[in-house]
Amino acid sequence: MKTYFHSTALLIWIVVLIGFNLRDYATTDPWLIGEFRIPRISGSLLTGFGLALSGLLMQTLFRNPLAGPFLMGVTPGASLGMAVYIFAGSALGTSYSFLGSTTSSVIGAFAALAIQLSLSRGFSSPLRLLLVGMVMGFVFSAGVELLQQFGNEQEIQRFTFWGMGSFDQIKSGDWIYLLTPVGLVAALTWWLRHPLDAYLLGDLYAQGSGISLKKLRVFLIFGGALLAGWITSFAGPIGFIGLVAPHIAKRLIRSESHSRVLIPALLWGGALCLSADTLAHNLLTDSVLPLNPISALIGAPILLYGLLRTKTI
């Protein structure tokens, strides 16, 4: 009952936000609505769903409620992959493309998660995870800054706008490219919800339940990194949503069962991303704010609260 009420309230919140963003539909050119505003709204929702799912998978993988694509260094790794593609692409004579940018971002995300896994064996300390993630973030940021020194004005401008985080560049046909990986990983997560619950109880319990830990970890690693890298290539390195959405869902429902947490976590991700985008477009009348500062203002207090409440640090 609590999960149903929770999900219903989030759906109402999302519907209200959609209505607010389409409030002047009757007085605005329908072409502008269809080509820009509706793709931005759908892109923000799908991005939120994907980041929340990525964060949920990483929290399951590390058995840690403070794991997330941004703080684990996965999103910064995807940013470095995108920077390599943008700044090194022209030097190699390649032009900017959807396939190239997405592939580079996903490779960067996988590399970052592989490093995090190798440096944080045991997954026992939230502080260790955060420290390793922060250090990796600094290293990746340094790599991005070095690459920018070799870029031309057009490349630097492209990367800067992308790095601010935005859904404005999502076009009317891009929703299918976001929906496909998010929907596929979400369906697999729901299908594997009972093995994932058993995995949270420890390796011995999972093995005793007849679960293949290797296959399950492959799914968690692949799904989490794929979503983080894929979405980062579309919307930029949006922080905190992947950590905060599943974290809030677990706190409010008071359960870590994937059967109960999955849908509320997805809805929280969509609601938070759409809220951030709505604030970015409406706080100032003559300009649009970048998403990253807004998502940080939303997520940082929740992260701080979670750290203060965690007794294992």
C-alpha to C-alpha distances, 26 to 14, 16, 18, 56, 201, nearest whole angstrom: 21, 17, 15, 39, 53
Task: Tell me which of 19-33, 227-241, 251-265, 285-299 is least confident.
Answer: 19-33
Residue 306 has pLDDT above 80, yes or no: no
Q: How far apart are CA 268 and CA 283, in angstroms?
A: 21
**Residue ranges of domains in the chain, CATH in brackets:** 2-309 (1.10.3470.10)
- pLDDT value at residue 289: 85
Q: Render pLDDT for 136-164 as a digit per residue (tens, 0 to 9).
A: 888 998 998 888 888 788 888 888 888 88
Q: How far apart are CA 32 and CA 79, in angstroms?
A: 30
Per-residue exposure over 20-45, b if at least 16 CB sit within 10 Å of its own CB, e if not: ebeeeeeeeeeeebeebbbbbbbbbb
Q: Render pLDDT for 21-34 as a digit per residue (tens, 0 to 9).
A: 887 765 666 777 77
Residue 63 has pLDDT above 90, yes or no: no
